[in-house]
A and B are shown apart, each in its own frame.
Chain A
Amino acid sequence: MKTNGNFIFKLYVTGEAPNSIRAIGNLNDLCRDHLAGHHEIEIVDLLRDPQKALEDEVLLTPTLVKLSPKPVRKIIGNLNDMAAVLKAIGLEAFRNEK
């Protein structure tokens, strides 16, 4: 469901790798704390679907792609650096207001 105002994320991971597990956890935390349900998350496991990596030009894991709202942003890493993630997806101001 692509709704205006909704955040759409695609997270590329590799199975049960520690960084992948952490990234999923961090993303869930972020959505819960800052987006309150206004989001969609698609998780792509490159171990199961390596072709996707070539199509989407994602090689490093974990990689978070924010597809909406524009502009598209690509963030690599396990998302431990939450401040950097919020800044990258344009939620820094939003959080401050809150």
Chain B
Amino acid sequence: MAFEENSKRIMANASTFGWDLQKLVPGKLFFLDAQPSPDLIQAGDFDLNGMLAVLDAKVRAMGARRIVFDSLDMLLNLLDTATQQREANRLNEWIMKKEITAILTGKVEQEAGNNTGQYQNTFMPFMTDAVVELNHRIVDGVSQRVLRLKKFRGSSFSENESPYVIGSRGFEVAEVSSFMANAVKVTKERVSSGVERLDTMLGGGYYRGASILITGAPGTAKSTLSGAFTQAACARGERALFVSFDSAPAEIIRNLESVNIRLKRYERSGQLRLVAARAGSFNSEIHYLRIKNLAQEHQARCLVVDPISALGKQGNELTSQNVLERLLDWTKAVGITLVCTSLLGGNAPEAEGSAMQISTNVDTWIHLNYLVRAGERNRALTIVKSRGTGHSNQVRELVLKDSGISLTDVYTVGGEVFMGTMRWEKEEAALSDKKIQEALAVRKLTSLKLAEAELEVRAKAVQVELEATRQEKAFLAVSDRQTVTDSADRVSQVRLLRGADRFPKGRQRRPGSKP
């Protein structure tokens, strides 16, 4: 029964949420337009008997189990207060007799600054079994809708306000739970942060399904680290969603390319979805639901929200905090690894507390800050906490180069941290020291080799000399013997030649024998 808007408009409005009521109309759904005519003249008391007679017949005819009285107040307000109550009771009795579930809607007068409105028909909440109060308010210029279960007979229920959103998927109520999601998938699987050394510092990377917060001052490479994580996810073949409240997708891709993080190919293949949003345009609740819907649509396993502090910009602090808790709970429950960044200056994040207290809820918290010394500003990375993983307590320098991101040891001397050029100088000094030592060693070796070679040569020369001396000695002995023989032979030879002797027969005469 429509007392305010007519059925045509109700159906048109419902269709914008994708509910095709028209389709149900002949058999399943019946609209009764009951808007009081503006020309209606009232002369005395009236009652709902006629309406109930009509409904009675209709309910019986179609076997209806549900009935909606939309804006019943439009009708009741035609009556004085006492009569209103009488007719409301009549309606109530009829509903109970028919054993039909009825939804009655009505307005409340909203007072500024008061959460609970004043009912126009004060008896209505007492009459019904359950009361759901919808509230729409503007906080800091941003619209916020909240729902509260005020009464629910025969059942325990959460009495707190829950934000809700009317979007393209219809009516979505944020599930506010005071307990952690029970269905959390706990895994020991690690996923890479995209920076090899950071993985090592974390004892193998982030946990799958964990939430990671990266805080830091502007320009400390929060987005870059998120980008590295995204690239690593895509490289593993996982689907990723990157929500940025800072830059347009094309800008993100270009900026990350400068440090050799290449996301374009993954965006083209559809594996990665980059979404840019403006923080101010909606309240945190709508942002949360949009992110959730996008992640579900994209079937993302890895999610980046950069920066998550954008969610806290609008609306009241409490709601934002609530939204963040739910985002963390939800990603954990479905096993999505969440990396979010938050703007946070200063060198002692734990002392300042993190934006919106999110840091207490995340599993891993990495803080980036600048260390300014000797006229330089260098990026330092600290793992503030990382649940369930052993992690390095070292501050490391984050170095961004064309070739990529790397983490470098910092020099700590006498409690001072050296980074950037000072670190480089230190390294260089150490390096040149080493080089000199090496050079000296080489020189020494060479000279020893030379000495060795010289000695070897000398040894060879001596050997040769020795040989020569021996040969000379041997020669000397031979030539002595030869000299004696030669002279005897020569004498006999001369005799023969002179013919003084005959030549002996068969054999030569012995020298010195008489002819």
Interface residues of A, Cβ cutoff 8 Å to B? 12-15, 17, 19-20, 22-23, 26, 46-47, 50-51, 53-54, 58-64, 73-82, 84-85, 88
Q: Say how far A95's CB is from chain B's closest CB, in angstroms.
A: 15
- The main secondary structure of chain A at its interface with chain B is mixed
B50, A60: Cβ atoms under 8 Å?
yes
Write out the residue numbers on chain B whose beta carbons fall within 8 Å of the beta carbon of A81.
Answer: 42-44
B43, A17: Cβ atoms under 8 Å?
no
- CB within 8 Å of A: which B47-67 residues: 47-51, 53-54, 56-58
For the complex, what is the distance from the CA of A81 to the CA of B57, rounded to whole Å?
31
Q: Among B39, B43, B48, B78, find the residue whose CB has the most chain A CB atoms closer than 10 A.
A: B43
A79, B50: Cβ atoms under 8 Å?
no
Q: Among A61, A64, A88, find the residue whose CB has the most chain B CB atoms closer than 10 A.
A: A61
For the complex, is B123 an interface residue (Cβ under 8 Å from A)? Answer: no
3 closest Cβ contacts across the A-B interface?
A61-B50, A77-B44, A14-B49
Q: Say how far A65's CB is from chain B's closest CB, in angstroms.
A: 11
A61, B40: Cβ atoms under 8 Å?
no
Which listed residue (B42, B43, B44, B54) contacts A59, Cβ 8 A? B54
| Chain B residue at minimum C-beta to C-beta distance from A64 | B43
For the complex, is B41 an interface residue (Cβ under 8 Å from A)? Answer: yes
Asked if A12 meets B43 with Cβ closer than 8 Å, knowing A50-B56, A50-B57, A51-B57, the reply is no
- Number of B residues, CB within 8 Å of A: 23
A17, B49: Cβ atoms under 8 Å?
yes
Which listed residue (B32, B46, B57) contacts A76, Cβ 8 A? B46
Which listed residue (A20, A46, A47, A77) contacts B43, Cβ 8 A? A77
A53, B42: Cβ atoms under 8 Å?
no
Write out the residue numbers on chain A whose beta carbons fall within 8 Å of the beta carbon of B34.
Answer: 59
A17, B42: Cβ atoms under 8 Å?
no
A76, B51: Cβ atoms under 8 Å?
no
Write out the residue numbers on chain B whose beta carbons fall within 8 Å of the beta carbon of A85.
Answer: 43
Write out the residue numbers on chain A whose beta carbons fall within 8 Å of the beta carbon of B45.
Answer: 19, 77-78, 80
Asked if A84 meets B42 with Cβ closer than 8 Å, knowing A59-B51, A61-B49, the reply is yes
Which listed residue (A50, A76, A79) contacts B53, Cβ 8 A? A50
Q: Say how far A83's CB is from chain B's closest CB, in angstroms.
A: 8
Q: List 11 A-B contacts (CB under 8 A).
A: A46-B54, A53-B51, A54-B54, A61-B51, A64-B43, A75-B41, A76-B41, A76-B78, A79-B43, A80-B44, A85-B43
B54, A50: Cβ atoms under 8 Å?
yes
Write out the residue numbers on chain B whose beta carbons fall within 8 Å of the beta carbon of A62.
Answer: 46, 50
For the complex, what is the distance from the CA of A64 to the CA of B40, rounded to whole Å?
11
> Contact flags (1/0) for B18-53 with A, using CB distance below 8 Å?
000000000000001010010111111111111101
Write out the residue numbers on chain A whose beta carbons fall within 8 Å of the beta carbon of B58.
Answer: 50
For the complex, what is the distance from the CA of A53 to the CA of B355, rounded to whole Å?
62
| Chain A residue at minimum C-beta to C-beta distance from B47 | A19
Write out the residue numbers on chain A whose beta carbons fall within 8 Å of the beta carbon of B41.
Answer: 73-76, 84, 88
Which listed residue (B39, B47, B56, B57) contacts A74, Cβ 8 A? B39
B53, A77: Cβ atoms under 8 Å?
no
Q: Say how far A80's CB is from chain B's closest CB, in angstroms.
A: 4
Write out the residue numbers on chain B whose beta carbons fall within 8 Å of the beta carbon of A54.
Answer: 32, 54
For the complex, what is the distance from the CA of A19 to the CA of B48, rounded to whole Å?
10
B44, A79: Cβ atoms under 8 Å?
yes
| Chain A residue at minimum C-beta to C-beta distance from B1 | A59
